[in-house]
A and B are shown apart, each in its own frame.
Chain A
Amino acid sequence: MQIYLPIAEVAVNALVLIGLGGIVGLMSGLFGVGGGFLITPLLFFIGIPPAIAVATGANQVVASSVSGVLAHVKRKTVDFRMGWVLLAGGLVGSSAGVLLFNLLSRLGQVDLVVQLCYVVFLGLIGAMMLQESLGALRRARRSGPVKPMRRHQHGWVHRWPWKMKFRASGLYISAIPVLLVGAAVGVLGAIMGVGGGFIMVPAMIYLLGMPTKVVIGTSLFQITFLSAYTTLMHAVSSNTVDVMLAVLLIVGGVTGAQIGTHLGARLRAEQLRILLALLVLAVCGKLALDLFLRPDELYSITPGVLR
């Protein structure tokens, strides 16, 4: 079933788009990542112009995150206070990221920077998570499931001033690292054209010491607002949001997100983290191969003329 997209000016198969949205929605519900790091490259692959893929991807992330966050609110696994503080940092970071992105495109080589960012961040995070969660799984197996879980480690970030009580997370920590995590995710999200959940989730677990159960709902909460902001910026500044494309992705996405959220409640936290780590490493490996292997076609066409 072919459908013509009014802004992208391409005709694509509607069922492929719904299926694509479904897979990414499943990831979103399962891991609390927005799925932007998957949807954007997948849209490139089926022939959507990159600028439109990035902007419309953000719109789709809004829908799947709303769907996911509502399910988490029902299960009381959202730390709203933490979410708002992260969002405050995120909005500042996102605006700065857009400026940085424009600077990079004026210097040229923005594609390379984006790709290198993906490889470095995905590789680091994936390896860290895999090592940690495999270790946790081994420990849990050796000592049995009765072993009490440690709430959180007191690291150097917990000694900073400006302490706030985050009751849902059971944390009493400084607001500064929370704002910094939010801002860093905002910057990277804007440069890489993603929601940034795949960076924020590990940062919340390992840097802030939040319990895994609360991390996913809170991350989705922040991503919802941050990607809404990004969508609006794209729509106003470059007219690159294709609502027809978004609706098709959303239909698949919201369904996938619901299934993912309920599936996630049944899986164990360690298993969930191993799965996410493997996924992150797979995407990283693919991007690294693209950088190192000789491409089939050395030439590429991009619309518009460099100034």
Chain B
Amino acid sequence: MIRGALFLLAALVLPGLPLHAQAAPDPAPAPAPPAEQIVAGLSREDVEITTSFDGSEIIIYGAIKRETAIPPDEALDVIVTLEGPAQALTVRHKERRAGIWINTSQVSIGAAPSFYVVATTRPLYLILTPAQDQSHRISIPLAMRAFAGPMEVEDAVPYTEALIRLRQANGFYRQDEGAVRLAEQTLFRADVRLPANLVEGVYSTRIFLLRQGRIIDTFRAPIDVRKVGLERWLYRLALEQPFIYGIMSLAIAVAAGWGASAAFRLIRRP
């Protein structure tokens, strides 16, 4: 979705961008949309990172509760997002100087999610208006929060585009259009695969219910991702008792080196 960042630019410059027919503004004084609400659940509320952790699957499912009948001829859509803890990072750009390629400029980004998935029932541009996207920060380019420090470059867009491109190539950012299955305009389900390279922290799930490009209900739930057992013990020791941790690492190294030496002497001496 390289076009995503361009979309961001367009959204910033042209707030009144004409939309696709499906998401066009309401025709005149339409009746108030019926009260529809999301009732949702997650297949798990926490993810435990063990030594053999190899990614995890989270099923986000639910139903739409309504008092009235299903309104006819109005598209109903669901968007599910899953966002990892934000990190500060720097995007650098290489240029050729005196024959060699060196980093010449950079943009610092104050907060970019370490992981971000947008799953939808249909292509995002068909079901979400840019204005709604702006206010809820749903699409990938808008999930990036703030630029940090003084800006050294005139145009930061290529940098954010590159960040999204690199993260999408690694599978950390995903836009899964059509990944949310909606049955009978009532039951929905999205399967989100979490990669093995997860960062610890609180992940947030959001579910948006849309009618005609407008968000009519929102649901949020946290998922706690944390290290357990040996992983947790080592992590805490490294942060809280770094000297002891360092000595321990060295002791293991020396013992392993000596052990191998002794073992080979035994093997070599028949």
Contacts and interface: CB of A to CB of B under 8 A. Distances in A.
Contact of A232 (B197, B231, B246): B246
Contact of A301 (B163, B198, B259): B163
A66 B91 contact: no
A60 B110 CA distance: 34
A295 interface: yes
A4 B166 contact: no
Contacts of A234: 246
Interface string B250-263: 10111011111100
Given A2-B52, A257-B260, A306 B253 contact: no
A298 to B, nearest CB: 5
B250 A9 contact: no
Given A292-B99, A292-B101, A303-B89, A4 B256 contact: no
Interface stretch (A168-176, A207-215, A244-252): A244-252
Interface in B45-98: 49-55, 87-96
A294 B97 CA distance: 11
A291 B166 contact: no
Interface stretch (A31-39, A94-102, A133-141, A235-243): A235-243
A9 to B, nearest CB: 6
A255 B260 contact: yes
Contacts of A258: 260-261, 264
A305 B249 contact: no
A300 B243 contact: no
B254 A7 contact: no
Interface string A272-307: 000000000000000000111111011111111111
B258 A306 contact: no
B100 interface: yes
Interface string A21-48: 0000000000000000000000000010
A293 B101 CA distance: 7
A77 interface: no
A291 B257 contact: no
Contacts, number: 196
A207 B268 CA distance: 36
Given A299-B166, A300-B92, A63 B254 contact: yes
B32 interface: no
B242 interface: yes
A112 to B, nearest CB: 5
A303 B92 CA distance: 11
Interface stretch (B180-188, B211-219, B233-241): B233-241
B252 A247 contact: yes
Chain B interface category by residue count: 35 or more
B245 A70 contact: no
Given A6-B227, A59-B249, A305 B243 contact: no
A306 B151 CA distance: 12
Contacts of A291: 100-101
Given A6-B227, A11-B196, A62-B250, A251 B256 contact: yes
A303 to B, nearest CB: 5
- For B91, B227, B242, B261, the residue with the greatest tally of chain A CB atoms inside 10 Å of its CB is B261
Given A68-B257, A305-B109, 16 more contacts: A11-B197, A66-B254, A67-B261, A70-B257, A70-B261, A71-B264, A232-B247, A235-B242, A241-B245, A246-B249, A254-B256, A293-B101, A297-B162, A298-B93, A299-B91, A299-B165
Interface of A: 2-4, 6-7, 9-11, 47, 59-60, 62-68, 70-71, 74, 108-109, 111-112, 228, 231-232, 234-236, 239, 241, 243-244, 246-247, 250-251, 254-255, 257-258, 262, 290-295, 297-307
Interface of B: 49-55, 87-96, 99-103, 106, 108-110, 148-149, 158-159, 162-163, 165-167, 196-200, 227, 230-232, 234-235, 238-239, 242-243, 245-250, 252-254, 256-261, 264-265, 268
20 contacts: A4-B54, A11-B53, A11-B197, A63-B257, A66-B257, A67-B257, A68-B257, A236-B242, A241-B245, A241-B249, A243-B238, A294-B101, A299-B158, A299-B165, A300-B94, A301-B167, A302-B89, A303-B89, A305-B148, A306-B108
